[in-house]
Every structure is written in C-alpha cells, then in structure tokens.
C-alpha cells in the first residue's frame, strides 16, 4: 500500500508528518501575513502507514472516509483555540474518586483546638522559630508575644536565610504587617478566631493573591498579577493566619528549579529541596515559617517533605479548595499543608477543608481527629513486598515497622499492586490535562522561557501530549475506574497502611490517581545529613486516622523535632 500524502506548501508528507506540521504552524501560531493559518490541504491516497504507529488498520474505503473528515476536525480545533480559554477555566467533566458503596463521612463543624497554658517564651530566639502551632498560639494568648512581633520575627528569618535556601518568590510583607496589627486589635477587643489566630504562614506561589505576583515558578509568568484571593488563603485568613510569603515551586509545579534559582534542602545545601512544593518544605524545615501550603499531583508534597524532613499531608481529592490555584491536572491536583508535626497538619487541615462555592469538585465530609490512639486497637497494614526489598533507605523503613510493633501495632501484610493494571500508562491523564491547561503557552512559543528544556521537562511533555488522542485519554480513565475499585477492596478493611514513601511498585502514582490521603513523616537521617521518610496511607476522607498514627509515631521517635544545624543559630 502507498502511504497517505498531504500537501503543505507544495510538499507531500505523511499523516504523522502532517500533524508535526500542524503543531509547527497552528500550535505554535506561525501565521501568514494576513494572520491566518497557512493552507493545509489533504491529498487522499492511503492512511495505512499513518495509522500503523497506533496499531490501527483500516481498509481503503475506511481510509478515504477518515481523510475526508480531517478538515472538519481542523475546523473544530481552530474554533476551540479561537475561544481563548484561560488556565482557570475547568473542564465540565469532573473526576469522582468514590468507589461503589463508599459512604462519605457526615459533615462536622470545625474542631475547637485546645491551646495549652503555661508556655513561656524561650530565652533563645531561635527556639521560637521551631515551636509548634499550639505553643505559638499559647504565647500569643498569654501576651508573651504579639501577632505583629511574631510576624516580624518570621519575616526577618525569611530575609536572613532565603539567600541560602532560595525558598521565597515574594514576601507579602506590607500585607502581613497590616494583617498582624488587625489580629492584635481583634484579640484586644475580645475577638479570637481560634488556634491559628496570628500564626504566620507561606503559600506555594501557584495560589493567587491580589497586589503580588503569582509566578507559578516559571519565567513566562514571573510578571503575572492575578486579582483574586485563592480559596485556601481566604480560609486561612478567616481562621486568623497571616500570609507572609509566597514560596517557590519548580516551574509549573515540576521539581525544585524555578525561574531564578534552585531551592535548597536546609539539611544539605548541596541538594535541591525536591519539588514541586519546594519552598514550602524548605522554609518550614528551616524554621522560617510555622507552616506552609503546598500541592500534589504526583508526589509534590511527599517528595519535598521527604527531602527536607517536614511532615506533609496530601488530603483526599475533593477535600480542599483549589480556587485561585494554578491548574495542572484538574482530576489529580490536591492541596495540603507542610508542617513540622502531624498534629500541626491536623490543625491546618481542619481550617482549610470544606466547601467553597468557586470549586465544584469539593465534597463536604466530616473530619475527626482522635488525638492519642492505641495502636493495638487499629487495623494497621503494611505493604509487605515493598518492605521485603533492599533499597537505599530500606533499613530506616524496616526500623519504622519495628518501632510501630513496640508501640503495640499488630502489623498485617497487604499488597497494593495489581499486575493486571497498566499503572504508568494512566499517567497520560496528567499529561493530557496539563497540556490542555497550558495550551496557550505551547502555541505562543513562550514555553521556551521555562528554564528546563530537556526531554522530560514540561515544554516537551506539553508538545508530545498533543498526540494523546481523546479516545486513549478516555480509555485511561476507564482503567482508572478499575484502579479505584481495586484500591478500595485492598484498603477498606484497614485503618492505616504503612508504605515506603517512594519504593514499592506503583503506589505513589496509583494513590494520586485514586485520590487517597497520605501523611509523610521523617523516620531517620542519611550519612549526608538528609532526612528519610515513611508514609501512612489512609482510606478516602479518613485523614484523622493517618494523622493520629503519624502523631503517635512522632511522639515515640522525635525525628520531626530535630533541626537543620545551619538554621539553628542565634547569630
């Protein structure tokens, strides 16, 4: 058979080449002097070779009909592009993480968190930097420190140490000072917003906030200012918290390299902090912030928390508002806190969970935090085949299991992988959605402004994702349905499952596709000084159980209370 040939500016090309030409013209906005796309015409011959890379075979009559339909598709593509979609416009099709028969916990009011009494301001100022949220709240209530003084303290630490860590894109100093004065005035008048009243925090710089740049970590957007307060920042400020910094992220939420530098690991400045919630983890671990907000699509809370030794919570999909946040993957993006303890994560999570009228994906569900738990009363599983392997940090992970057993846990082996499911193939869901979210960036050729330009960087992934067909995207989501049901069956009889944070099959990608919650906590330190981590996986909408078990583990080990030496100074 002869191959299908197309004519573009008088040159005969195959259908695959046709799509490459289409990319180089329509996708990259190479227009004629009249502003119109160059004429592309189809010379019908045969589509056999063109379709063969996709393992599809059509007879000559079918090929002819396909060829005649190409012009209609091109008209549709041009009409869609002419509409001018922005990153903030979500698709009408929404992802639902609920398996058959799953019951969402009934909605509950916000928890009234106990603020301890008798906490004294430490003699060494550096000790203030590493105090917990309840301890800082106690100092504010007792008058040991004002909201303004605490805010200025953390602003000064950010200014002092950011040149080493490169963890801040923008300080929101003017706003923070004004907000801190307001919080002090409210307390003086008898108005108390709760445990977060007067507590400074940072937010990953993919959350919009009026008057300050929202750069998404990328050179193409470093001057971008969005006149919207992200839902997560609204909720935290309603709870009394004070935004002091917009923290770094790898460009468009990949890695730790952003448009100005590489964010550093405070435990080992030779290393990046990993990403993409790079600055949120780095600043919190170094005591530059009491806590910060990050996001995860495929490891962006788990990874920097592991590298920097923070405690990170990736909540259930649909738990926390994403309004005003950069969209990367509408069906996979999740928002969560990075703190220095599981209890602090529980406090922040309680403030940010719940409905937001500007995010239709949210599901209203209850949250209970049991605090102290008896591990022997819980069904705790562990990912046996993963722990049985030898890998770089396996000794730390196996020691974690020993500690949990000493604490009374009756560990039950469980397997999470299913050999019948093509896990990695489902990552095309993320890539297709990300390419759609940044369609304009690709077509305008502004993707060249991103620092990373290698094969696995976003610019090339966005380009190659244009060859993911709608059919394959939907097929991947159908397999995702089976994955959701499979994980539900494997996890539903457990309260918590202990898993290596990175090793062991496909759990990190799988649980991001299913939307399950995870808490990641430090569980040791390598010879290089860098932390290691362990993760606690929970059932959908049961953040309380994994947070409580993580808190108990931290109480028994105290890894989370260690401080990076370079940032534990009084000078």
The model's pTM: 0.92
Q: Is the confidence at residue 33, as pLDDT, over 70? A: no
Could you tell me the CA-to-CA distances from 79 to 1, 84, 281, 460, 473 in Å, in that order?
34, 10, 42, 24, 21
Give CA–CA dist 85/108, Å, rounded. 37
Q: What pLDDT digit, counting tens, does each position of 314-367 carry?
A: 999 999 999 999 999 999 999 999 999 999 999 999 999 999 999 999 999 999
Q: What percent of the chain has pLDDT over 70?
A: 91
**Model pLDDT for residues 56-72, shown as the tens digit of each residue:** 777 888 888 888 888 88
Told to judge if 182 belongs to the known catalytic residues of this protein, a careful annotator would answer: no
pLDDT band at 53 (very low <50, low <70, confident <90, very high): low
Higher pLDDT, 33 or 145: 145
Q: What is the mean pLDDT of residues 486-505?
A: 96
> Would residue 276 show up in a list of annotated catalytic residues for this protein?
yes
**pLDDT (average), residues 505-530:** 97
Which residue, 85, 324, 477, 343, is CA-closest to 335? 324
* Cα 307-312-315 angle, rounded to 5 deg: 140
Separation CA 280–CA 205 (nearest Å): 9
Average of per-residue pLDDT across 387-410 = 97
CATH superfamily of 125-420+473-564: Amidase signature (AS) domain (3.90.1300.10)
Q: What is residue 336's DSSP assignment? A: E
Model confidence at 12: pLDDT above 50: no
From the candidates 138, 146, 204, 323, which is the catalytic residue? 204
Residues 525-529 have a mean pLDDT of 96
Mean confidence (pLDDT) of the chain: 91
Asked whether the predicted pLDDT for residue 32 surpasses 90, the reply is no
Catalytic residue among 274, 276, 282, 303: 276
Predicted confidence (pLDDT) per residue in 434-447, tens digit: 999 999 999 999 99
| Residues in a beta bridge with 246 | 170, 203
The pLDDT assigned to 211 comes to 98
Range 35-39 average pLDDT: 44
- Maximum C-alpha span of the chain: 86
Collapsed DSSP state (helix, strand, coil) of residue 565: helix
Q: Which residue has the tokens 């289409």?
A: 22
Distance CA 74, CA 40 (A): 10
Which is the catalytic residue, given 26, 132, 300, 303?
300
Q: What is the reported pLDDT for 5?
A: 41
Which residues is 67 bridged to in the sheet?
Answer: none
| Model pLDDT, residue 52 | 54
Catalytic-residue membership of 120:
no
Q: What is the pLDDT of residues 170-179, one digit of tens each?
A: 999 999 999 9
Q: Which residue has the higher pLDDT, 165 or 505?
A: 165
Query: In degrees to the nearest 10, what's the CA dihedral of 98, 99, 101, 105?
Result: -30
Exposure class string for 56-76: b at 16+ Cβ within 10 A, else e = eeeeeeebeebbeebeeeeee
Task: Using pLDDT thresholds of 50, 70 and 90, give the confidence band for residue 482.
Answer: very high
pLDDT at 11 over 80: no
Lowest-pLDDT choice from 39-53, 101-115, 219-233: 39-53
* Range 448-477 average pLDDT: 94
The domains of the chain are located at: 1-83, 125-420+473-564
- Distance, in Å, from the CA atom of 433 to the CA atom of 427, rounded to the nearest integer, reads 10
């Amino acid at each position: 058979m002869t191959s299908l040939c197309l004519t573009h500016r008088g040159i005969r090309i195959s259908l695959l080449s046709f799509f490459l030409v289409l990319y180089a013209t329509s996708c990259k906005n190479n227009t004629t002097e009249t502003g119109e796309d160059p004429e592309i015409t189809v010379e019908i011959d045969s589509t056999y070779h063109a379709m063969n890379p996709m393992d599809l075979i059509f007879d000559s009559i079918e090929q002819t009909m396909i060829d005649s339909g190409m012009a209609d598709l091109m008209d549709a593509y041009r009409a869609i592009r002419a509409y001018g979609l922005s990153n903030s416009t979500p698709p009408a099709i929404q992802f639902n993480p609920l398996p058959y028969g799953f019951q969402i916990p009934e909605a509950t009011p916000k928890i009234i968190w106990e603020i301890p009494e008798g906490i004294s301001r430490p003699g060494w100022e550096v000790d203030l930097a590493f105090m917990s949220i309840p301890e800082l709240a106690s100092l504010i209530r007792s008058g040991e420190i004002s909201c303004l003084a605490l805010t200025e303290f953390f602003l000064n630490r950010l200014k002092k140490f950011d040149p080493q860590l490169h963890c801040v894109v923008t300080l929101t100093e003017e706003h923070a000072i004004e907000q801190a004065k307001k919080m002090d005035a409210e307390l003086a008048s008898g108005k108390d917003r709760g445990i977060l009243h007067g507590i400074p925090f940072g937010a990953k710089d993919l959350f919009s906030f009026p008057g300050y740049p929202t750069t998404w970590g990328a050179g193409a957007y470093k001057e971008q200012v969005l006149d919207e307060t992200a839902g997560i920042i609204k909720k935290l400020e309603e709870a009394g918290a004070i935004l002091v910094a917009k923290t770094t992220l790898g460009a468009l939420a990949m890695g730790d390299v952003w448009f100005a530098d590489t964010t550093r690991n405070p435990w080992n400045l030779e290393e990046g902090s990993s990403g993409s919630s790079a600055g949120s983890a780095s600043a919190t671990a170094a005591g530059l912030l009491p806590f910060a907000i990050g996001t995860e699509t495929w490891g962006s809370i788990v990874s920097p928390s592991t590298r920097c030794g923070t405690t990170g919570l990736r909540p259930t999909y649909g738990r926390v508002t994403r309004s005003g946040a950069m969209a990367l993957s509408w069906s996979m993006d999740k928002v969560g806190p990075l703190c220095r303890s599981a209890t602090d994560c529980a406090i922040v999570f309680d403030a940010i969970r719940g409905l937001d009228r500007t995010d239709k994906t949210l599901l209203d569900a209850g949250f209970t935090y049991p605090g102290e738990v008896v591990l022997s009363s819980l069904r705790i599983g562990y990912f046996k085949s993963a722990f049985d392997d030898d890998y770089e940090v396996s000794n730390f992970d196996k020691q974690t299991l020993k500690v949990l057993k000493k604490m009374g846990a009756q560990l039950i082996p469980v397997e999470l992988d299913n050999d019948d499911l093509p896990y990695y193939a489902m990552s095309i869901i993320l890539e297709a959605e990300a390419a759609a979210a940044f369609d304009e960036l690709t077509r305008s050729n502004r993707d060249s402004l991103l620092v990373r330009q290698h094969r696995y960087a976003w610019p090339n992934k966005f380009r190659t994702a244009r060859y993911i067909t709608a059919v394959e995207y939907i097929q991947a989501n159908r397999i995702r349905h089976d994955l959701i049901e499979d994980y539900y069956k494997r996890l539903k009889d457990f309260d918590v499952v202990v898993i290596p944070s990175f090793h062991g099959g496909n759990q990190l990608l799988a649980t991001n596709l299913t939307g399950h919650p995870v808490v990641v906590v430090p569980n040791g330190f390598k010879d290089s000084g860098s932390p290691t981590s362990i993760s606690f996986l929970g059932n959908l909408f049961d953040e309380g159980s994994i947070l409580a078990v993580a808190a108990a583990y931290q109480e028994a080990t105290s890894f989370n209370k260690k401080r990076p030496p370079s940032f534990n100074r009084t000078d």
